[in-house]
Structure 1
Amino acid sequence: MANSSFRRKQEELKSPGWMVTFSDLSTLLLTFFVLLLSMSTMDQKTFKSMFHNFTASCGILYFKEYGEIYRPKLVLMQALTEKLKDSLVVKRSDDFPKDLISPKEEKTFEETGSSLVVENFKGGFKLVFGHNMLFLSGSADIQEEIKPLIEKIGSFMRNSDYQVYIDGHTDNVPMKGGKYSSNGELSLARAYNLMEYFVTKENISPLSIALAGYGELHPVAPNSAPEGRARNRRVEIIFKSQKYF
């Protein structure tokens, strides 16, 4: 009888299940609003301090003092630029054959408005043929009057150990009709025909020649003026010493 009375008292002391859930929810809501209120009046130092304590316990978040993003010093960038300029000085290379272009040919180039520039760089040099010197506008056929010079260049290539690169370039004026549909196609065809001439006529190994057609992608002058477009229409024959590979 006593045991039965004790069980009834325990059942009377138990709270309904919904009341426990409601109490938990009320506590969570109260905590949430207190947190909102405290954050609205919290300064940056207090906020970071709070999260620092949180990171110390769980190791997920990490705050550190703000700092400026590193940027290379302007002086260093200028020094690198000058270094690059020093390696690309426009002048005749010591390896360039002095008798390759005769004074008569140079005079002819000047009279016809054509240009041939020799640029020296570390480990070699390159020949930059100006517009219409090797090819007529829109054509990839080598002009007859320039072939004697091409043959002399081929003879020099045959007796040297340079790796040779032939790069074709154009201006940005779109192709209108004709055999080639784009500037890239035209520049590549010019480089290929020049390489083929060296291989078939001058017996140069094709393994020593690489070619590329860049179209208008690598201008050396603005295409906004006729003079700039003329400079961009060029073919470069680059001679690079094997020891620099």
Structure 2
Amino acid sequence: MKNKRREHHEEHIDETWLIPYADLLTLLLALFIILFASSQIDSKKYDQIMRGLNSALSGGTNIFEVSSSPIENLQEIDQKKADVVKKQDQKALEEQQKHQVEMEDLKELQQKLEGYIKDNKLSTQLETKLTEDMLKITIRDNALFQPGSADINKESQKLAQSIAGMLSGYKEYNVEVAGFTDNRPINNREFQSNWDLSAKRSLNFMKILINNDKIDPSHYRSIGYGEYQPIDTNDTVEGRSKNRRVEVNIIRQVKSTGEKSFIP
């Protein structure tokens, strides 16, 4: 009888493997729940699931516990991008406002110059042109110099002083004084080329402009272009007369695209 009982006990199936198998299924289920939650947009639900798993599996501390969810990280990145875009938009707005102020300033200065030209009947000698980059004052060389000379006429010095007086109200702008000639060669005791003549003329005119206590010389420069930037043909007397000139360019600091303009 004892032998029969022993044989019956030995034939009983061992079911201890079910415990680790059940644990494995539980872990797999938890993994799939986490993957599913990570694919959802609702970060609150994700956090609730994570807290529930931490509490159920290990009392709140295990490999599933993280300091922040991937969705929170993405939201933080998006916020940083939004802040950068906001700063860029603010900077663009400020540049646009400054551009508008400069345009109004140069229009005002142009009106003053046009009034001076009209009052003194200088329309054949001076003209102004406002562009997106600058306000250009063009002065014919016969209004300033004798042929082949860089010395400014005494009467023309008053013209330069009057222009300086108007420019003194716009101290923050950079100003370029440029000299130009026609293509007829020059070679005398003082000047060996049109480069030399144009450079000296622009320098002499600039010296009169900056001889004003209200003007900051650091914003001014002179340059000679010689014969290489004509505005008309050099084949006629009239065309050569137009090419011989001095230009006073009041440079805008901010162009319409927001690009800064600078004179070294």
TM bucket normalised to smaller: 0.5 to 0.7
Distance change (3 Å), C-alpha of 1:187 and 1:203: farther
Q: CA deviation at 1:178?
A: 3.8
Q: TM-score, normalised by structure 2?
A: 0.52
Q: Does 2:152 correspond to 1:137? A: no
Q: Secondary structure at the match of 1:96?
A: helix
Note the alpha carbon deviations across 1:162-210, whole angstroms, 9 max, x for none: 2101110000111142411110000000111111112234552221112
Aligned counterpart, 1:197: 208
Indicate the SS of the match to 1:243: coil
- Cα pair distance change 1:197/1:203, threshold 3 Å: farther
Give per-residue Cα distances to partners, 1:37-67, cap 9 Å, x unaligned.
xxxxxxxxxxxxxxxxxxxxxxxxxxxxxxx
| Partners of 1:150 and 1:133 in 2: CA distance | 11
Superposed CA deviations along residues 96-118 of structure 1, whole A, max 9, x for unmatched, are: 24343153412xx36xxx42111
Distance 1:203 1:183, change over 3 A: farther
2:117–2:126 CA contact under 8 A, matched in 1: no
Which residue matches 2:227?
A: 216
CA contact (8 A) 1:171 1:223 kept: yes
**Alpha-carbon distance between aligned partners in 2 of 1:150 and 1:177, rounded to the nearest angstrom:** 27
Partner of 1:127: 137
Q: In structure 2, what residue type is equivalent to 1:131?
A: D
Letter matched to residue 162 of structure 1: Y
Q: CA deviation at 1:148?
A: 2.3
Mapping 1:1-245, distance limit 5 Å: 94-100=107-113, 101-106=116-121, 109=122, 114-160=124-170, 161-201=172-212, 204-244=215-255, 245=261
Residue matched to 1:82: none
CA distance in 1, matches of 2:169, 2:119: 24
What root-mean-square deviation, in Å, do the aligned CA atoms of Structure 1 and Structure 2 show? Answer: 1.9
Which structure 2 segments of 5+ residues have no match?
1-105, 256-260
CA distance in structure 1 between the partners assigned to 2:177 and 2:205 by the alignment: 8
Larger Rg: 2
Residue 145 of structure 1: CA displacement? 1.1
Shift in alpha-carbon separation, 1:117–1:232, aligned structure 2, 3 A: same
Runs of 4 or more consecutive aligned structure 1 residues displaced over 6 Å after TM superposition: none
- Matched residue count: 148
Q: Which amino acid aligns with 2:108?
A: D
Give the 3 Å change call, closer, same or farther, for CA 190–202 of structure 1 in structure 2.
farther
Task: Normalising by structure 1, report the TM-score.
Answer: 0.56
Q: Distance in 2 between matches of 1:242 and 1:174?
A: 36
Does structure 1 retain, via aligned residues, the 8 Å contact 2:109–2:166?
no
Cα pair distance change 1:175/1:217, threshold 3 Å: same
For the residue of structure 1 that corresponds to 2:228, the secondary structure is coil
